């Protein structure tokens, strides 16, 4: 079952996030711009962003069910100021700062993205009628997204666990990453019940939560006191705080096992024996 996720705000790139939302789910009718969403949390985010970024008070239309009976929200702004704001969002869309590209991606995901809960397969995708939008999303994503056409719409997607967690991390959805990884571990445990015990399944969830505290522990280390290999790994982790273990290994030119070993040694020095997560 697909699940849409609302994201946390990022003050310095609020316009980029709003641009992603408008590009993904906005529709113009004269001087009226309406953003449609199935998520109450996303609707509130749109209202908040119009107010904080442009001082515009938006209207929230009465909830109208879609053809499947799901509640559908419509957030509306209108008038000359709305038209001017939309023009300004064109510049936000093309922002080059990595943080603002991430914010645009986050907005696009809220408006046109979904992720399948991990089980036997992994799947995250963006779906839209506009090819240019989908190719922009694929270009902004740090993980490779395949672009294809499906039933009259364009789709950018990944079917790898690393791809899903990388994109979620890039958008700042760290709690979703931990939940996803924990569910993935449980799913693998069910599929391999003969070799995975109930204790290992429970411990995997604790390991995923402990990974969120890695950066705090590593921040206490003095790079000057570390051997060269560990110093390089520390700098790499601090430079890419939301990268998965696989990404760190690739960026450092290491095997996944070697990267994991160095992270464990760093955490031991920091007084935090929590294992690194992939």
pTM of the model: 0.63
Predicted pLDDT at 61: 74
Q: pLDDT digits over 230-245, tens only?
A: 888 888 888 887 777 8
Decide: residue 64, CB within 10 A, 0-12 exposed, 13-18 middle, 19+ buried: exposed
Cα dihedral 52, 58, 62, 65 in deg (nearest 10): -70
Q: pLDDT digits over 29-79, tens only?
A: 888 999 999 888 899 999 999 999 999 999 887 677 777 788 889 999 999
The widest CA-to-CA distance across the chain, in whole angstroms, is 65
Q: Is the dihedral of CA 225, 229, 234, 239 positive or negative?
A: positive
Whether the per-residue pLDDT at 196 is higher than 50: the answer is no
CA terminus-to-terminus distance, the chain? 24
Rounded Cα gap, residues 158 and 165, in angstroms: 10
Average pLDDT, the chain: 81
Please state the φ and ψ torsions of residue 82, each to the nearest 5 degrees: -65, -40
According to DSSP, the residues that pair with 113 across neighbouring strands are 126
Q: Residue 167, Cα to own-chain centre: how many angstroms?
A: 5
Burial code of 220-249, b = ≥16 C-beta within 10 A, e = fewer?
ebeeeebeeebbbbbebbeeeebbbbbbbb
SS3 166: helix
Rounded Cα gap, residues 134 and 112, in angstroms: 10
Predicted pLDDT at 199: 46
Rounded Cα gap, residues 100 and 18, in angstroms: 11
All structural domains of the chain, each given as residue ranges with its CATH number in brackets, are 2-167 (3.10.28.10), 213-278 (1.10.10)
Q: pLDDT digits over 109-125, tens only?
A: 999 999 887 766 789 99
Q: What is the DSSP letter of 157?
A: E
* Top-ranked range on mean pLDDT: pick from 24-28, 174-178, 207-211, 263-267: 24-28
């Amino acid at each position: 079952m697909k699940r849409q996720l609302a994201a946390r705000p990022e003050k310095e790139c609020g316009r980029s996030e709003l641009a992603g939302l408008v590009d993904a789910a906005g529709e113009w009718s004269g001087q009226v711009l309406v953003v449609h969403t199935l998520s109450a949390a996303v609707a509130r985010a749109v209202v908040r962003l119009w107010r904080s970024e442009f001082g515009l008070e938006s209207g929230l239309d009465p909830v109208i069910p879609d053809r499947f009976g799901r509640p559908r929200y419509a957030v509306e702004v209108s008038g000359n100021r709305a038209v001017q704001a939309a023009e300004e969002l064109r510049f936000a869309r093309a922002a080059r700062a990595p943080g603002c590209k991430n914010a645009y991606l986050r907005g696009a995901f809220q408006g046109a993205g979904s992720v399948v809960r991990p089980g036997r397969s992994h799947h995250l995708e963006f779906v839209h009628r506009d090819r240019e939008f989908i190719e922009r999303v694929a270009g902004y994503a740090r993980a490779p997204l395949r672009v294809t056409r499906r039933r009259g719409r364009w789709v950018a997607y990944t079917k790898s666990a690393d791809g899903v967690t990388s994109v979620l991390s890039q958008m700042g959805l760290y709690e979703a990453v931990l939940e996803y990884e924990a569910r993935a571990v449980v799913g693998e445990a069910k599929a391999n019940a003969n070799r995975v015990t109930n204790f290992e399944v429970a411990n995997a969830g604790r390991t995923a939560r402990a990974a969120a505290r890695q950066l705090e522990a590593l921040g206490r280390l003095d790079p000057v006191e570390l051997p060269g290999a560990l110093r390089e790994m520390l700098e790499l982790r601090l430079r890419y705080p939301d990268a998965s273990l696989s990404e760190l290994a690739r960026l450092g030119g290491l095997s996944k096992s070697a990267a994991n070993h160095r992270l464990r040694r760093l955490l031991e020095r920091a007084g935090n024996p929590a294992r690194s997560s992939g």
